């Protein structure tokens, strides 16, 4: 029910017309006997307010239960305490870990997180970036370095620190934390070659730019050893899954029955390959060697355990936040590109 249906009756105290009655900075200022700005300063830059007033103000804040309104703050200062995070998938364990690192690093800062899911689509990424840029975020963290020209321009003109993650490269928009997928793919393949496998297949799903680079690394290693053959490569645009791994191994074997090793695009695929080997009674590592990518927990638990390229996803998230926070604080890091590397973890699936 509303105050006045007809003629605006008497003045009816317009106090907190819409605000929901929460205490405002003015209430705190009044109670503490100081100016509103001083309260604002005491909260944001305590060093610039005298010990005395600071205590008074803190008392008033506590008593009233005052908490600053983030929207008003954002409007007045033209900047928000929001990190925009853009990833291609929410269910892919790899990005989930990066995001977890980001969350954990931000959990006791005043910053909030707004997440976007690009579904591996450049267009979707552009759209989300447009939306995010409007918020004047404190920082943007985006996966990958293969932005469309428009996306790249949006990032460059966002007016906030930008961290690209999950890759490495010479030309970041601003900052970059990750590792070389090419090197990862090459290292994995070289390992298979070293151990004695020869007809080594590449099996990959959803060939996003990172997968492409792993494939390029595989190819480089195979060519260097004089072993490359296009019929060894099996890919699909479908989303990666364990089931798909099984199917792809069947396809690969159909094309090339004699293959004796598999470098898998990722661990889900690798697990599917392993299961298919079980089902087809193919001995691992004797008949076929398997290497995965990312080293999810299950690779270690599998039977036989599976060799995989361990990547530091959680740490990537943490470093990205650390760099962004430093940049916000005005300290651009001397190192704009951080390569966190990877490690090949040798396990039973290639132990022969």
Q: Is 131 in the site for DNA (CB under 7 A)?
A: no
Q: Does 125 bind its own copies (CB under 8 A)?
A: no
**Stretch of 72-80, 138-146, 193-201, 299-307 contacting DNA, by CB under 7 A:** 72-80
Q: Could you identify the residue written with the tokens 């447009």? A: 130
Cβ closest to DNA, residue 33 vs residue 159: 33
**306, 291 contact by CB (below 8 A):** yes
10 in the Ramachandran plot: left (φ > 0), alpha (ψ -120 to 50) or beta?
beta
Tell whether residue 226 is a contact of DNA (CB under 7 A): no
Q: Closest Cα to residue 239, out of 283, 206, 266?
A: 206
* Residue 171 interface partner, choices its own copies, DNA, none, CB cut-off 5-8 Å depending on type: none
Is residue 44 near its own copies by the rule CB under 8 A? no
Query: Site residues for its own copies, window 266-285 (CB under 8 A)?
Result: 268, 271-272, 275-276, 278-279
**Region near DNA per CB under 7 A, out of 68-76, 267-275, 291-299, 340-348:** 68-76
Q: Determine which residue in the list 10, 13, 31, 40 makes contact with DNA, applying CB under 7 A.
A: 40
Binding positions for its own copies, 74-113, rule CB under 8 A: 74-75, 77-78, 80, 90-91, 93, 96-97, 99-100, 103-104, 107, 112-113
Work out which of 10, 13, 17, 234 binds DNA, going by CB under 7 A.
17
Contact 338, 119 (CB under 8 A): no
Catalog residues that contact DNA under the rule CB under 7 A.
Answer: 1-8, 14, 16-20, 22, 24-26, 33-38, 40-41, 43-44, 48-50, 52-53, 66, 68-69, 72-73, 75-78
Catalog residues that contact its own copies under the rule CB under 8 A.
Answer: 18-20, 67, 69-72, 74-75, 77-78, 80, 90-91, 93, 96-97, 99-100, 103-104, 107, 112-115, 117, 131, 134-136, 159, 241-243, 245-246, 268, 271-272, 275-276, 278-279, 297-298, 300-303
């Amino acid at each position: 029910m509303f105050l006045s249906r007809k003629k605006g009756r008497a003045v009816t105290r317009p106090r907190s017309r819409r605000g929901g009655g929460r205490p405002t900075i003015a209430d705190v200022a009044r109670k503490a006997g100081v100016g509103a700005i001083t309260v604002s300063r005491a909260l944001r830059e305590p060093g610039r307010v005298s010990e005395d007033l600071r205590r008074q103000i803190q008392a008033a804040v506590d008593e009233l239960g005052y908490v600053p309104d983030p929207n008003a703050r954002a409007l007045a200062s033209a900047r928000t305490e929001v990190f925009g995070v853009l990833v291609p998938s929410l269910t892919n364990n790899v990005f989930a870990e990066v995001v977890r690192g980001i969350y954990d690093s931000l959990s006791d800062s005043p910053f909030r997180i707004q997440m976007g899911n690009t579904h591996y689509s450049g267009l979707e990424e552009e759209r989300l970036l447009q939306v995010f840029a409007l918020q004047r975020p404190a920082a943007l963290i985006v996966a990958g370095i293969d932005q469309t020209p428009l996306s790249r321009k949006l990032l460059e003109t966002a007016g906030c620190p930008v961290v690209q993650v999950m890759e490495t490269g010479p030309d970041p928009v601003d900052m970059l934390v990750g590792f070389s997928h090419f090197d990862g793919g090459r290292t994995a393949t070289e390992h298979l070659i070293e151990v004695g496998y020869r007809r080594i297949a590449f099996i990959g799903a959803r060939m996003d730019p990172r997968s492409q680079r792993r494939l390029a690394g595989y190819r480089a290693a195979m060519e260097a050893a004089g072993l490359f053959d296009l019929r060894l490569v099996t890919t699909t645009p479908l989303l990666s899954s364990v089931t798909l791994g099984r199917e792809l191994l069947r396809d690969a074997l159909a094309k090339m029955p004699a293959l004796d090793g598999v470098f898998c695009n990722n661990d889900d695929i690798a697990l599917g390959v392993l299961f298919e080997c079980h089902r087809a009674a193919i001995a691992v590592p004797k008949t076929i060697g398997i290497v995965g990518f990312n080293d999810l927990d299950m690779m270690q638990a599998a039977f036989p355990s599976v060799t995989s390229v361990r990547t530091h996803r959680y740490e990537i998230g943490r470093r990205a936040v650390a760099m962004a926070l430093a940049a916000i604080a005005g300290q651009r890091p001397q190192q704009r590109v951080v390569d966190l590397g990877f490690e090949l973890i040798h396990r039973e699936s290639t132990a022969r």
